């Protein structure tokens, strides 16, 4: 199926399918960010989603659509952490065998959560791409079904359900600011929003350190990047090889911006202090983009997707404390 064949209908079907497993998440007004940006700003809280990230939406849609013999064989995935946790959670509920490949870069808090759910966890390689290579081999050897973290029509449609919820809760939405890595999240949301109303501005946010999709957009083709350590560990990893998301992002995303490690930390501290929200680095990049005025031509009804909250609490407190001292 070419990328252009994923439609709004697939996203509606996904919504129906995943309703028993993934929650509809709250959309809250942020007075603090509204003041900063001088327009109403809303936060879409996927950090309070089941498994603490939106990844459960795509994982549920994919696993619930497996054929009986595929369920029998079991699934394998590679993940920067949150997708692995989501796949494990859903597989466990559906009694499907799950193998999760993680690189050494995945934080321990994420690895432990996956193991607790009962998946078979294998830590291999220094980067996401190295873990992916090993996963591809294992998948072939053992006849498992690969559950790709972003480059899969069912996964993209699952994440796109967030777009439907945004349209429902904020019908006037004219700007969507969304964390961007492999592009399953941004691709699904942008597809839903742009199909409903082409005038809605879609802005993807990545970290300065190794933004694979942004580099690829600039080059006009999928390029390899060097993975670097980042506080936004949920955004780490390359996008090659790529069948679906690069095309969708190229087609439906208006603009991309980059945020620094400092800015991401500032946004995590902001979310904790002002909103009492636990947000991981990857989940905070949209807030950072607004907080540090990276987005040009903001509309009048802005929604920011806060994509996840899986962060080591002592690290978060340290970041908050550091930022408090800086502010004084």
Number of residues that bind ligand PLP (CB under 6 A): 20
| Degrees to nearest 5, angle at CA 7 with 158 and 285 | 50
Tally of CB atoms within 10 A around 258 = 18
* Bond preceding residue 13 cis, omega within 30 of 0: no
Among the candidate windows 30-38, 126-134, 182-190, 257-265, which touches ligand PLP by CB under 6 A?
182-190
Q: Which of 100, 186, 203, 248 binds ligand PLP (CB under 6 A)?
A: 186
Under the binding rule (CB under 6 A), the answer on residue 180 touching ligand PLP is: yes
- Total residues found in the chain within this entry: 328
Cα separation, 243 vs 247, whole angstroms? 8
**Pairing label, strands 302-306, 41-45:** parallel
Touching ligand PLP, residues 90-129 (CB under 6 A): none
Touching ligand PLP, residues 189-208 (CB under 6 A): none
Taking the least distance from each CB to ligand PLP, the nearer of 35 and 88 is: 88
What minimum distance in Å lies between the beta carbon of 50 and ligand PLP? Answer: 13
Touching ligand PLP, residues 285-324 (CB under 6 A): 307-308
Helix axes of 82-94 and 108-116: crossing angle, nearest 10 degrees: 0
**Pairing label, strands 98-102, 75-79:** parallel
Among the candidate windows 22-30, 69-77, 173-181, 260-268, which touches ligand PLP by CB under 6 A?
173-181
Q: Which of 183, 210, 238, 286 binds ligand PLP (CB under 6 A)?
A: 183
Taking the least distance from each CB to ligand PLP, the nearer of 35 and 255 is: 255
Residue 276: burial class (beta carbons within 10 Å; 0-12, 13-18, 19+) = exposed
Cα separation, 83 vs 76, whole angstroms? 11
From 66, 124, 128, 122, select the one nearest 91 (Cα to Cα): 66
Binding mask 35-74 for ligand PLP (x = CB under 6 A): ------------------x-x-------------------
Taking the least distance from each CB to ligand PLP, the nearer of 136 and 326 is: 136
From 97, 84, 16, select the one nearest 55 (Cα to Cα): 84
Taking the least distance from each CB to ligand PLP, the nearer of 129 and 280 is: 280
From 228, 234, 230, 306, select the one nearest 268 (Cα to Cα): 306
What minimum distance in Å lies between the beta carbon of 262 and ligand PLP? Answer: 19
Touching ligand PLP, residues 207-266 (CB under 6 A): 234-235
Torsion angle defined by CA atoms of residues 108, 112, 114 and 119, in that order, rounded to the nearest 10 degrees: 120
What minimum distance in Å lies between the beta carbon of 107 and ligand PLP? Answer: 12
Taking the least distance from each CB to ligand PLP, the nearer of 173 and 285 is: 285
Taking the least distance from each CB to ligand PLP, the nearer of 263 and 280 is: 280
Taking the least distance from each CB to ligand PLP, the nearer of 42 and 150 is: 150
Among the candidate windows 107-115, 178-186, 250-258, 317-325, which touches ligand PLP by CB under 6 A?
178-186
H/E stretch holding 211 = none
Cα separation, 198 vs 183, whole angstroms? 19
Cα separation, 285 vs 147, whole angstroms? 25
Interface ranges with ligand PLP (CB under 6 A): 53, 55, 82-83, 150, 179-186, 234-235, 280, 282-283, 307-308
């Amino acid at each position: 199926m070419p990328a252009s064949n994923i439609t709004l209908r697939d996203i509606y079907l996904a919504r129906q399918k995943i309703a028993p497993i993934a929650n509809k998440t709250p959309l809250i007004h942020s007075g603090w960010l509204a003041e900063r940006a001088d327009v109403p700003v809303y936060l879409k809280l996927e950090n309070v989603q089941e498994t603490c990230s939106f990844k459960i939406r795509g994982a549920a849609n994919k696993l619930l659509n497996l054929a009986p013999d595929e369920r029998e064989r079991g699934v394998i995935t590679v993940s920067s952490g949150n997708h692995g946790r989501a796949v494990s959670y859903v597989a466990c509920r559906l009694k499907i065998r799950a193998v999760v490949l993680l690189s050494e870069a995945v934080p321990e808090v994420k690895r432990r959560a996956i193991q607790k759910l009962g998946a078979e966890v294998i830590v291999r390689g220094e980067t996401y791409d190295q873990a992916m290579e090993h996963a591809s081999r294992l998948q072939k050897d053992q006849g498992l079904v690969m559950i790709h973290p972003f480059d899969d029509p069912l996964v993209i449609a699952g994440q796109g359900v967030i777009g439907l919820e945004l349209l429902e809760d904020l019908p006037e939405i004219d700007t969507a600011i969304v964390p961007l890595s492999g592009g399953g999240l941004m691709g699904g949301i942008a597809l839903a929003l742009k199909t409903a109303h082409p005038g809605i501005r879609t802005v993807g946010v990545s970290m300065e350190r190794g933004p694979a999709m942004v580099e690829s957009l600039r080059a006009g083709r999928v390029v390899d990047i060097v993975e670097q350590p980042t506080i936004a560990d949920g955004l780490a990893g390359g996008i090659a090889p790529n069948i679906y998301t690069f095309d969708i992002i190229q087609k439906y995303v208006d603009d991309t911006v980059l945020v620094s490690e400092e800015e991401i930390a500032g946004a995590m501290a902001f979310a904790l202090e002002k909103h009492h929200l636990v947000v991981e680095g990857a989940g905070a990049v949209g807030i950072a983009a607004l907080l540090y005025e990276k987005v040009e031509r903001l509309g009048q009804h802005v929604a920011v997707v806060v994509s996840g909250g899986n962060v080591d609490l002592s690290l978060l407190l340290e970041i908050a404390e550091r930022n408090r001292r800086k502010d004084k």
